[in-house]
Chain A
């Protein structure tokens, strides 16, 4: 068990429930400007409880860490990120805008409001196939986190929140990382190991 004792406080706060679910396949981060700044696949052929997948013998790990799938090049990932960024923006724009009387217009002077003014338009929040579920979380500041998991995995929102907190800690507080640039940070990788691959 690597890194025991690091961040004890957080470890003790990990809800154990989702660990019983399927594995995490991959994590992608798309910057505010739409470029892929991080991608990592997680090995799913590890021994032990493999969740719904049930694969126990080691196999070649391909796309999104799924065994037996073809392997994507870095360029393929960049295309995926760029495409998704665009699709996400379009789905976001499908949020209705309800007209409001000028007298009620807010400080921004808009003549319309979203159905729930407290909730920003979100775009795609999840995408599912028979093999994986993609959970999307866009921060208010525009960064998108894409988490590929087994469809049976519960509480991916909790999982995602943990990823976001670790991003805020180990990426944003690192003076050697520049915004919009690729993330290559040891402490971030270690904290992801703890959060996403312990089982």
Chain B
């Protein structure tokens, strides 16, 4: 194999994941481990440590259509039909429905399925926002860098993180920013992202007996994954707040952990932006 081993091809992966909270790593052992090792959707893979890479038994096509040979930005502006997402998500919800007990369990499962996307998308967002984003050579300069050779810095303060969610994550996923970002007036640890037309809810009406359920819990899981990956441990949940004009209007409630707020205060005192 002439190609560089996986651990060396993608910049800053190890760094950001080493920085991922252990709480969530242990709380979501199955999903996190699964997606990183399966790399089933590994936009940003690279989990294998160098030692395991050396003993890799994986076979690669001679056409070299592998994740290591293809440009990470290749699919940046690619589009698929919205139906393809709708049907996939429909079956995901339907499958979950058969295996859960109650609304809470249902939302937890959808959240957990979105969470690994958030972890990966954080890296992808930072990578694309950085100065090396247009570079096709991923192996230059960044192979040993743990602070993100070609990638942008991850946010350190709450506001930049939340802005990243509404103005970078949202456009990446849904081709538009979120509709608004609000801070709770009663709890300084709580923020709300408001989406009038969440993609997950577009074709899904929940039955009356489950009217507390929001299938946008999947998006909440993505948000939670991004925040956790960036070191802002939180819980994110989705809540139906439909109006006549916006029947699917959804509020994503993000509640940060106490220590995140303490750090925020300390950083503010030190003048870190």
Contact = CB atoms under 8 A, between A and B. Distances in A.
Q: Do chains A and B touch in the complex (CB under 8 A)?
A: yes
Interface of A: 2-6, 169-170, 173-176, 184-188, 190
Chain A interface main SS type: loop
The 9 closest A-B pairs by CB, nearest first: A173-B203, A175-B94, A186-B205, A175-B93, A187-B205, A175-B90, A173-B86, A185-B205, A176-B207
A190 B248 CA distance: 12
Contacts of B244: 2-3
A173 B210 CA distance: 18
Interface string B182-224: 0000000000000001000001111100100000000000000
Contact of B205 (A2, A6, A176): A176
B204 A187 contact: yes
B247 interface: yes
A175 B203 CA distance: 9
A188 B86 contact: no
A2 B243 CA distance: 10
A169 B246 contact: no
A170 B203 CA distance: 5
A190 B247 contact: yes
A142 to B, nearest CB: 20
Nearest to B211: A186
Contacts of B97: 175-176
A3 B244 CA distance: 6
Contacts of B197: 6
Interface of B: 83, 86-87, 90-91, 93-94, 97, 197, 203-207, 210, 244-248
A176 B247 contact: no
A5 B245 CA distance: 7
Contacts of A185: 205
A97 B138 CA distance: 65
A169 B86 CA distance: 9
Given A5-B246, A175-B93, A190-B247, A184 B204 contact: no
A8 to B, nearest CB: 10
A171 to B, nearest CB: 9
A106 B205 CA distance: 44
B204 A174 contact: yes
Contacts of A188: 205
Given A175-B90, A176-B210, A186-B205, 5 more contacts: A6-B197, A6-B247, A175-B204, A176-B204, A187-B205
A176 B245 contact: no
B83 A4 contact: no
A102 to B, nearest CB: 42
Nearest to B96: A175
Contacts of B93: 175
B90 A174 contact: yes
8 contacts: A5-B246, A173-B90, A173-B203, A175-B90, A176-B205, A186-B205, A187-B205, A187-B248
Contact of B247 (A173, A175, A186): A186
B90 A4 contact: no
A175 B93 CA distance: 6
A188 B206 CA distance: 12
Contacts of B245: 2-5
Contacts of A4: 245
Q: Which of A3, A176, A188, A190 has the most CB of B within 10 A?
A: A176
B205 A3 contact: no
Given A5-B245, A190-B247, A173 B83 contact: yes
A173 B206 CA distance: 12
Contacts of B94: 175
B158 to A, nearest CB: 31
